[in-house]
Amino acid sequence: MKNLRKTLFLPDFYKDPERYSFQTQLFFLLQRYRQQQELRQVDMFQKLLMTDYMFVKDRLFASLNLNEKEMQLYDTVANLLERNVIKPDLVIYLQADTDTLMKNIFKRGREMETNITYEYIDALSQVYTEYFFRYQETPLVIINTNNIDFVNNENDLEEVIKYIRQPVSGTKFFNPVSGLK
């Protein structure tokens, strides 16, 4: 059901971002908030909890996709919701250059992503880089994924996991190189 709802918004957004960006951004903002509220219900004695997003992620997308008036309204709603958001213990930013990101999108082969432009992905990558350059809220690991494939290469995945399991304070950078190409 969750993925079905995503597919109701993303194909329209990818076809006509100007027309569908505000409703898409609000949808994802509220989805992330709902997920955050579910995290509050998780057993506090659970050893590990992982998510594949940060609440602020949607604000980064919104900064690219919304006009000034839409962004003001979005910020008003997001600021109200952020008061109840749990901060992560560790943030992992998987960084890649635009060429690598485009290759990964192409490899995924999702029909709804066929209209994504190089320029949009490049701008999004820059927004993420700027955000994480200033990020200081929690420990942060930045992993350059240009030269590894942890999805299809088990050795690369093991190397990334080994690095992540090390104690982290502040910001750490990891620039692995795959043994297999």
Structurally, how many domains does the chain consist of? 2
Give dist(CA 98, CA 103) in Å, integer: 9
Rounded (10°) CA dihedral 52, 72, 14, 102: -50
Q: What does the CA dihedral 151, 1, 30, 138 come to, rounded to 10 degrees?
A: -30
Residue-wise pLDDT tens digits, 29-86: 998 898 888 877 765 566 656 677 788 888 999 999 999 999 999 999 999 999 888 8
Q: 166: which residues sit within 8 A by CB, 6+ positions away?
A: 172
Residue 149 lies in a domain: yes
**CB-based contacts of 37: which residues, under 8 Å, 6+ apart?**
84
d(CA 125, CA 130): 9
pTM of the complete model: 0.80
Give the SS3 label for residue 172. strand
Q: For residue 154, give its domain range.
A: 88-115+138-176
Residues 58 and 29 in one domain: yes
Asked whether residue 7 is assigned to any structural domain, the reply reads yes
pLDDT band for 9, please (50, 70, 90 cuts).
Answer: confident
Question: Does 171 share its domain with 107?
Answer: yes
Does 167 map to a domain? yes
